[in-house]
C-alpha cells in the first residue's frame, strides 16, 4: 500500500514538468498525496516493527513450546502422564504400596521439570507481548487506563488473559497442581480385592494410589443392600454411603450418605415414583433437598464405574446396587458414590447466595482430615482457588476425592440448611 501511494505521489509531482497538469488543483492534490504518503510510510514502519517483534517472539515461543511438549511425550511414554492442566500424575495400574510411593516421588520430580519448561513458555509469551507493545509504543500506542471503558471491559482485549492452567510461579498455582495431583491419587485404584464371607456377604476393597480405600459390602438378595465406606490415607473414616432396594418388599428405594462428623444426606423413592430427600447437619439442623436435584443430569453423567452409582431413570434417587458395583474390582478409576451426589447437590443449590458464615462453619466441620491452604479450598469449595475448570462438576476428569471432596460437600450441605 505504501509503495502504491508513494508512486502516485511521485507521478503527481512530475505532472507540471510534463505540462500535463498544473495549478491550484494540482498543488492541493500534491499536498494530499504527500500526507497520504507520510501516513502510509508510518503505517508501514509500524507494521514492520510489530511484525518483527512477533516473528522474533514466535521463534522463542515455538522453541519453549517444543521443549515442553517433547518432555511431556517422554513422561507419557512411561508410567506417568501429563494432564491437560500440565500436572504430572500416575497412570492407572495395579502396583504395590512401595511402587506407588516411588511413582509419587517420581511424579513430584517430573513436575519440577514440567513447571520449569511451562514457565519458559510463559516467559517467552510475556516477552513477546512486551516487545510488541514496545514496538507499537514508538508510534504512539498506549494501553488504556484500568479505569477507562476499554480497561473495564473484559472483552475489549485490553486485559491480560487469565491463566488457563495452574501457574507454577504463584502459590495458588502450586496449590492447584497439588489439588489435581492429590485427587487423582485418591481416585486411581492401585489394588483391588474381592471375596465372599462365611455369612454370604460379597466384600470388595479398593485401595487407591494415595493409600485411601473404599470398603464395599453387598448382602440380602431379597432386598439388596450395598454399602461403601471411604477411609482416607490415614485410616480415618470419611463417609459411608448405604443403599437398599426394597422393591420386592414394599416397593421403596433408599440411599443415605453419612459423614464422619454426623452430617447425613438421605433420599427415598416410594412405589409411585415420588422422590424426597433431606439433610441433617451435625448440630441437628435440617433441610429438604429441592426437587430439581432428583432430575439433575450429573447423577447419570457421572454414574458408572467412577462413582459406583447405577444409571438413573428420568426421575429417581442415586443408588448403589450389586450391578453397579459388580465390575469395580477391574476399575482403573473410582471416586465413590458421594462424587455424583455432591456434584448434583452443588449445581442444584448454588443458584442461590451462599450464607458465608454458616456455610463456612458447616463446610469446615464436614471436611475430614483438613484442607489445602488452611481450609481455603474446603470453605470455598466451588472454584478451586478461582479456577472453575478445577471444580468437581467435571467429575469424569477427576476432581472430587479425599478431604477436599467432603469439605466441598459440607459447603453444599451448609448452603441447603443455613437460614436465609
Q: Give pLDDT tens digits for 277-292.
A: 888 877 787 878 777 6
Is residue 86 predicted with pLDDT exceeding 70? yes
Q: Give the model confidence (pLDDT) of 180-212 as tens digits.
A: 898 889 889 999 999 999 988 999 999 999 999
Are the beta carbons of 380 and 390 closer than 8 angstroms? no
374 contact partners, CB below 8 Å, separation of at least 6: none
Q: Please work out, in degrees rounded to the nearest 5, the angle formed at the alpha carbon of residue 159 by the alpha carbons of 84 and 142.
A: 140
Compare 157 and 182 and report the one with higher pLDDT.
Answer: 182
- pLDDT value, residue 176: 86
- pLDDT value, residue 206: 95
Ramachandran area for residue 135 (φ above 0: left; ψ -120 to 50: alpha; else beta): alpha
Within 171-236, strands assigned E span: 189-196, 202-208, 213-219, 225-231
Q: At what angle do helices 97-137 and 171-187 cross, to 10 degrees?
A: 150
Which 3 state secondary structure label does DSSP give 253?
A: strand
CA–CA separation, 94 vs 349, rounded Å? 38
Compare 158 and 383 and report the one with higher pLDDT.
Answer: 158
Residue (of 332, 328, 339) closest to 205 by Cα position: 328
Are β-strands 213-219 and 225-231 bridged in parallel, bridged antiparallel, or unpaired?
A: antiparallel
Q: Please work out, in degrees rounded to the nearest 5, the angle formed at the alpha carbon of residue 67 by the alpha carbons of 66 and 71.
A: 115
- pLDDT value, residue 209: 95
Segment 168-186 shows an average pLDDT of 88
Given pLDDT bands bounded at 50, 70 and 90, which one contains residue 328? confident
Given pLDDT bands bounded at 50, 70 and 90, which one contains residue 403? very low
- pLDDT value, residue 213: 94
Q: Give the model confidence (pLDDT) of 236-245 as tens digits.
A: 998 899 999 9
Are the beta carbons of 229 and 237 closer than 8 angstroms? yes
Is residue 218 predicted with pLDDT exceeding 80? yes
- pLDDT value, residue 368: 28
Grid cell, residue 318, equals: 442415586
Is residue 367 predicted with pLDDT exceeding 60? no
Residue (of 98, 193, 136) closest to 106 by Cα position: 98
- pLDDT value, residue 410: 46
- pLDDT value, residue 330: 83
Is residue 390 predicted with pLDDT exceeding 70? no
Q: Cell 515461543 belongs to which residue?
A: 61
Taking the complete model, does pTM exceed 0.85, yes or no? no
- pLDDT value, residue 283: 79
- What is the per-residue burial (b if ≥16 Cβ within 10 Å, else e) of 203-222? ebebbbbbbbbbebbbbeee
Is residue 120 predicted with pLDDT exceeding 60? yes
Amino acid at each position: 500500500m505504501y509503495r502504491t501511494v508513494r508512486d502516485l505521489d511521485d507521478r503527481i509531482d512530475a505532472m507540471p514538468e510534463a505540462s500535463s497538469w498544473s495549478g491550484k488543483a494540482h498543488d492541493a492534490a500534491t499536498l494530499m498525496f504527500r500526507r497520504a504518503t507520510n501516513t502510509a510510510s508510518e503505517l508501514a514502519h509500524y507494521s514492520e516493527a510489530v511484525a518483527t517483534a512477533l516473528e522474533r517472539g514466535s521463534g522463542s515461543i515455538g522453541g519453549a513450546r517444543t521443549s515442553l511438549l517433547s518432555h511431556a511425550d517422554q513422561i507419557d511414554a512411561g508410567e506417568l502422564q501429563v494432564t491437560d492442566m500440565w500436572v504430572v500424575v500416575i497412570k492407572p495400574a495395579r502396583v504395590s504400596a512401595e511402587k506407588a510411593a516411588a511413582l509419587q516421588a517420581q511424579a513430584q520430580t517430573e513436575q519440577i521439570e514440567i513447571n520449569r519448561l511451562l514457565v519458559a513458555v510463559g516467559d517467552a509469551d510475556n516477552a513477546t507481548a512486551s516487545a510488541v507493545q514496545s514496538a507499537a509504543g514508538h508510534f504512539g500506542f498506549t494501553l488504556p487506563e484500568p479505569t477507562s471503558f476499554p480497561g473495564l471491559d473484559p472483552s475489549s482485549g485490553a486485559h491480560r488473559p487469565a491463566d488457563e492452567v495452574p501457574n507454577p510461579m504463584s502459590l495458588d498455582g502450586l496449590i492447584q497442581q497439588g489439588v489435581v495431583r492429590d485427587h487423582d491419587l485418591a481416585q486411581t485404584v492401585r489394588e483391588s480385592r474381592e471375596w465372599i464371607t462365611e455369612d454370604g456377604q460379597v466384600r470388595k476393597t479398593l485401595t487407591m494410589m494415595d493409600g485411601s480405600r473404599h470398603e464395599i459390602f453387598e448382602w440380602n438378595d431379597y432386598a439388596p443392600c450395598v454399602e461403601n465406606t471411604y477411609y482416607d490415607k490415614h485410616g480415618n473414616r470419611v463417609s459411608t454411603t448405604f443403599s437398599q432396594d426394597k422393591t420386592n418388599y414394599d416397593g421403596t428405594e433408599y440411599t443415605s450418605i453419612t459423614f464422619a462428623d454426623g452430617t447425613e444426606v438421605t433420599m427415598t423413592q416410594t412405589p409411585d415414583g415420588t422422590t424426597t430427600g433431606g439433610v441433617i447437619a451435625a448440630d441437628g439442623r435440617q433441610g429438604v433437598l429441592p426437587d430439581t436435584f432428583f432430575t439433575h443430569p450429573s447423577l447419570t453423567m457421572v454414574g458408572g464405574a467412577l462413582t459406583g452409582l447405577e444409571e438413573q431413570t428420568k426421575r429417581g434417587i442415586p443408588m448403589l446396587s450389586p450391578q453397579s458395583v459388580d465390575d469395580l474390582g477391574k476399575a482403573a478409576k473410582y471416586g465413590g458414590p458421594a462424587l455424583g451426589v455432591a456434584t448434583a447437590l452443588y449445581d442444584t443449590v448454588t443458584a442461590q447466595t451462599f450464607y458465608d458464615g454458616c456455610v463456612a462453619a458447616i463446610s469446615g466441620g464436614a471436611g475430614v482430615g483438613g484442607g489445602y491452604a488452611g481450609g481455603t479450598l474446603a470453605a470455598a469449595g466451588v472454584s478451586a482457588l478461582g479456577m472453575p475448570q478445577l471444580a468437581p462438576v467435571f467429575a469424569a476428569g477427576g476432581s472430587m476425592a479425599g478431604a477436599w471432596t467432603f469439605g466441598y460437600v459440607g459447603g453444599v450441605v451448609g448452603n441447603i440448611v443455613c437460614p436465609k
